Amino acid sequence: MRYAGHAPPTQLSSDRSHVFRRRHCYHHQLNSQPVLRRVGVCLSAVLVQVTLFAQSFSPAMLRAVLCVRGARALLHQKHESPAARVAVVLSGCGVYDGTEIHEASAILVHLSRAGAVIKVFAPDVPQLHVIDHSKGQPTAESRNVLVESARIARGDVTALSHLNVQDHDAVIFPGGFGAAKNLSSFAVDGESCAVDQDVERVLKGFNKAKKPIGLCCIAPVLAAKVIPGVEVTVGQEEEHEGKWPYAGTSKSIAALGGKHCAKDVHEVHVDEQHRVVTTPAFMCNAPLHVIHDGIGSMVSGVLKLVGKIKS
């Protein structure tokens, strides 16, 4: 097929192709200019309207609008409660001679998830003794409760003597034999036990200030000893074929001056009058996740009493 007076398109020189492309771009720019002009006119009109609207307000009206907006912002800020400040008191590191590590970890995790500000404390005193956890037997070692507690607190731990009730909204005591050996002498003296003087000061101080106290596992014996008539739970009152190996502790609660309320491992007991929340935790032979959930309920109960729980 022949093209009259023209070469086929495939044979166009590169120079002519370049010319066609330039012409196409030029015509495209010409065609776009009316659209750009129309957009510019529209924007100018909008700016004029906005300016006229703003000028229609008197200075007094503008001040009134700003005051309303400021009041709304202030109201919004007032509805935002600050984070709960919670003290956690440890008794060493290790279930047989200090804090039960899983319980302490669960408390810290649930508090963190709820947005609480956490401060860890421990008494700066020697442990009653040191247990080889692989054998369950005492050793000749001597360890310090504060130093051992630093293992759980990742080094950020303060002597319990420095805990000021006014600086915190609540306090929580995890369990472990340390609560009965280092925070008190319950493991040795039973119902005639003594409580560490700083532990007693803290418990009585929070109780007097009507600030919530949380305890789990064996730790409720501390509250039973220093808060007359307090209601707590350490689980069931019968062993139930070994499921509750420390069920006898429930009888000690009454002898110490408290009232025992039987609960399952995933449950909590809330003493509204004394603002004390307790859960059995490892007083029961139960799966770790069930104990973790029960401790979570205890933490939630404490934060609800504080009135600063994160949804």
CATH number at residue 302: 3.40.50.880
Say whether both 193 and 208 belong to one domain: yes
Active site residues: 217
Closest CA to 92 of 151, 139, 162, 138: 151
Say whether both 50 and 193 belong to one domain: no
Residue 6 lies in a domain: no
Distance (Å, rounded) from C-alpha 279 to C-alpha 263? Answer: 8
Percent of the chain with pLDDT over 70: 73
Say whether both 137 and 167 belong to one domain: yes
Q: How many CB atoms lie within 10 A of CB 221?
A: 28
Range of the domain at 52: 15-80
Say whether both 67 and 183 belong to one domain: no
Residue 3 lies in a domain: no
Residue 136 lies in a domain: yes
Say whether both 52 and 36 belong to one domain: yes
Distance (Å, rounded) from C-alpha 46 to C-alpha 36? Answer: 15
Of 80, 100, 123, the residue at which a domain comes to its end is 80
Distance (Å, rounded) from C-alpha 201 to C-alpha 37? Answer: 80
| Rg of the chain taking only CA atoms, in angstroms | 35
pTM: 0.75
Residue 10 lies in a domain: no
Of 80, 97, 113, the residue at which a domain comes to its end is 80
Of 36, 63, 80, the residue at which a domain comes to its end is 80
Say whether both 133 and 280 belong to one domain: yes
Query: In angstroms, what CA-CA distances link 86 with 70, 107, 118, 125, 135?
Result: 32, 11, 5, 22, 35
Q: How far apart are the first and last CA of the chain?
A: 80
Residue 311 lies in a domain: no
Q: Would you state the structure tokens that stand for residue 53, as one six-digit string?
A: 């609207």
Say whether both 136 and 37 belong to one domain: no
- Residue 309: the pLDDT is 57
Say whether both 117 and 265 belong to one domain: yes
* Residues ≥6 apart with Cβ < 8 Å to 51: none
H or E segment at 293?
A: helix 288-306
Judged by average pLDDT, the poorest of 71-80, 238-247, 253-262 is 71-80
Q: How many domains does the chain have?
A: 2
Q: Is the pLDDT of residue 79 over 70?
A: no
* Residues ≥6 apart with Cβ < 8 Å to 168: 85, 86, 87, 119, 206, 211
Distance (Å, rounded) from C-alpha 269 to C-alpha 215? Answer: 10
Distance (Å, rounded) from C-alpha 259 to C-alpha 243? Answer: 22
Q: Is the pLDDT of residue 12 over 50?
A: no
Would you place residue 246 in the very low, low, confident or very high pLDDT band (cuts 50, 70, 90)? very high
CA atoms within 13 A on the CB side of 85: 9
Say whether both 159 and 277 belong to one domain: yes
Residue 197 lies in a domain: yes
Say whether both 64 and 89 belong to one domain: no
Residues 270-297: tens digit of each pLDDT: 999 999 999 999 999 999 999 999 999 9
Residues 164-217: tens digit of each pLDDT: 999 999 999 999 999 999 999 999 999 999 999 999 999 999 999 999 999 999
Residue 90 lies in a domain: yes
Say whether both 237 and 284 belong to one domain: yes
Return the axis-axis angle of helices 101-113 and 145-152, rounded to nearest 10°: 50
Query: What is the β-pairing status of strands 137-138 and 259-260?
Result: unpaired
Say whether both 168 and 227 belong to one domain: yes
Q: For residue 101, give the 3-state DSSP assignment.
A: helix
Residue 1 lies in a domain: no
Distance (Å, rounded) from C-alpha 271 to C-alpha 298? Answer: 12
